[in-house]
Amino acid sequence: MKRVVYAKRGGLDAIEIIEEEAPLPEKNEVLIEVHRAGINFADLMMRQGLYGAAPDFPFTPGYEVSGIVRAVGKEVQSHAIGDRVVALTGFGGYAEQVVVAQERAWTLPDNVSFDSAAAMPVTYLTAHHMLVYLGNFREGDSVLVHHAAGGVGTATAQIVKALNGGTIYGTASAKKAKFVKEMGMIHIPRGEDFVQRIKADSEGVHHALDPVGGKHVMESYKALRNGGRLYVFGASSAVKGPKRSLWKAIKMWRSTPRFDPIRMMNSNKSVYGVHMGMWKDESVAREQMLALAKMLENGQINPVVDSVYRFEDVAKAQQFIHDGGNRGKVLLDFSPK
């Protein structure tokens, strides 16, 4: 089987494809023939060595896959050979075959495609975890989300809509204005003063989702109303194109605010740090995945897939995301030809 490897820290030239024997499932594991693997922004950051939770080089990225179970371990009860599944892989999803623990794979309903399934786990779980598990989301709540046209951005818009939320403000580059509006959000062009725009309409938002980092975090905090919640869940401002820029990363780190709990107390604002890759309580994640699977089956959410690249074109796919081209999710096609 073939597997994508980040051979070393670096640009797109650090990506290699190797050939090796397929893995065998242990007693509690299933072997999945991968049809689609999701690309996440974190995959780009870990290639550049800017991601704390990544394994040592060389390694295979890929948090999420959809495909068909081709072998099961002796003690597996929840899945059988031939099942269509979606799975959270931790790492290693950019491969023709991958093994995962049986409880990290979910059987797909017939009406859910491999595309929709692979586009769902990381982005929807992250958005759901912030708004619902941490944020105690209530009907009518307003939301600010950055990278609004991307994976987490579109997932957020759909989840808020499904929960009968209120206004959603989405920042994204100007060329994506139409798409962001079609997703039901008020578009604010990236780089414009979103605090002023939001405060012109209301006291501020109930929830602000910030994956940008640096001084941007304080702006998101200012966009909150009394009682509002800020989720800091990324550091995209540390990235500048496919090559690593240490200067950008240091600038992001140094300009990230350190919050004063007394001032937070007086304004009743909360700040959450969120990293699903380092979330420890599997049962909480699993419960949320089941809730999302139900929403997917009922058509309450419907992942937006921008494009699907053959895995041999993984560098092109990642370049497309570096260029900010995607509207929704970008996937890799590993299906057998």
Ligand X SMILES: NC(=O)c1ccc[n+]([C@@H]2O[C@H](COP(=O)([O-])OP(=O)(O)OC[C@H]3O[C@@H](n4cnc5c(N)ncnc54)[C@H](OP(=O)(O)O)[C@@H]3O)[C@@H](O)[C@H]2O)c1
* Interface ranges with ligand X (CB under 6 A): 40-42, 122-123, 126, 147, 149-153, 172-173, 176, 190, 211, 233-234, 236, 239, 274-277, 321-322, 324, 326
To the nearest whole angstrom, how small is the minimum distance from the Cβ of residue 89 to ligand X? Answer: 14
To the nearest whole angstrom, how small is the minimum distance from the Cβ of residue 56 to ligand X? Answer: 20
Q: Pick the closest to residue 125 from 162, 160, 92, 152 (CA basis).
A: 152
Q: Among residues 108 and 285, whose Cβ is nearest to ligand X? A: 285
Q: Among residues 76 and 172, whose Cβ is nearest to ligand X? A: 172
Task: Point out the residue whose Cβ comes nearest to ligand X.
Answer: 150
To the nearest whole angstrom, how small is the minimum distance from the Cβ of residue 3 to ligand X? Answer: 21
Neighbours of 303 (CB within 10 A): 24
Q: Among residues 99 and 314, whose Cβ is nearest to ligand X? A: 314
Q: Among residues 150 and 165, whose Cβ is nearest to ligand X? A: 150
To the nearest whole angstrom, how small is the minimum distance from the Cβ of residue 280 to ligand X? Answer: 13
To the nearest whole angstrom, how small is the minimum distance from the Cβ of residue 75 to ligand X? Answer: 30
Are the CB atoms for 233 and 126 separated by under 8 Å? yes
Burial class of residue 77, CB neighbours in 10 A (0-12, 13-18, 19+): exposed
What's the CA gap between 236 and 249, in Å, rounded?
Answer: 9
Q: Among residues 38 and 165, whose Cβ is nearest to ligand X? A: 38
- How far lies 301's CA from each of 112, 155, 309, in Å? 11, 8, 23
What's the CA gap between 302 and 27, in Å, rounded?
Answer: 34
Q: Among residues 243 and 294, whose Cβ is nearest to ligand X? A: 243
The phi, psi pair for 238, rounded to 5°, reads -80, -10
Provide the b/e sequence for 247-269 (b: ≥16 CB within 10 Å): ebbebbeeebeeeeeeeeeeeeb
The two structure tokens encoding residue 226: 């009394």
Q: Among residues 211 and 228, whose Cβ is nearest to ligand X? A: 211
To the nearest whole angstrom, how small is the minimum distance from the Cβ of residue 225 to ligand X? Answer: 23
Start-to-end CA distance of the chain, whole Å, equals 12
To the nearest whole angstrom, how small is the minimum distance from the Cβ of residue 169 to ligand X? Answer: 13
